[in-house]
Amino acid sequence: MKTATITITFEQQKLKALQFYAGKKNADLQSEMDEVLQKLYEKYVPASTREYIESQMSPAQTPPTRPSRPPSSSAPAPIGHARTQGQEAAE
């Protein structure tokens, strides 16, 4: 599924402090933001809608393809040798 980019505004000094202290604890801000967004998604999006979206994301859930058509048991008559119903072609 395609991803979207989110742009937010945050006070610059607060962001620098956050990056500084998160870096001291080896925390990845991107991962933390992803977790927060996932929690918001689970909080606000109804379970049935999430289930539908997740089924669209799973490659195993693709609709089955129609099987190829088996070859016809009666081949078309050669030109000039028309067959009629109930009559076999003489060779």
Return mean pLDDT, the chain. 81
Residue ranges making up the domain that contains 30: 12-58
Whether residue 54 lies inside any domain: the answer is: yes
User: Average pLDDT for residues 20-34, to the nearest whole number?
Assistant: 95
Q: Whole-angstrom Cα distance, residue 77 to residue 84?
A: 10
Main-chain dihedrals φ then ψ at residue 40, nearest 5 degrees: -65, -40
Residue 38 lies in a domain: yes
Q: Give me the phi and psi of 52, to 5 degrees please.
A: -60, -45
- Is 67 inside a domain boundary? no
Q: How many domains does the chain have?
A: 1
CA 62 to chain centre: 8
Could you tell me if residue 3 is inside a domain? no
Question: What is the pLDDT averaged over residues 63-75?
Answer: 59
Confidence of residue 17 (pLDDT cuts 50, 70, 90): very high
Evaluate whether residue 87 is within a structural domain.
no
Q: How confident is the model at residue 78 (pLDDT cuts 50, 70, 90)?
A: low
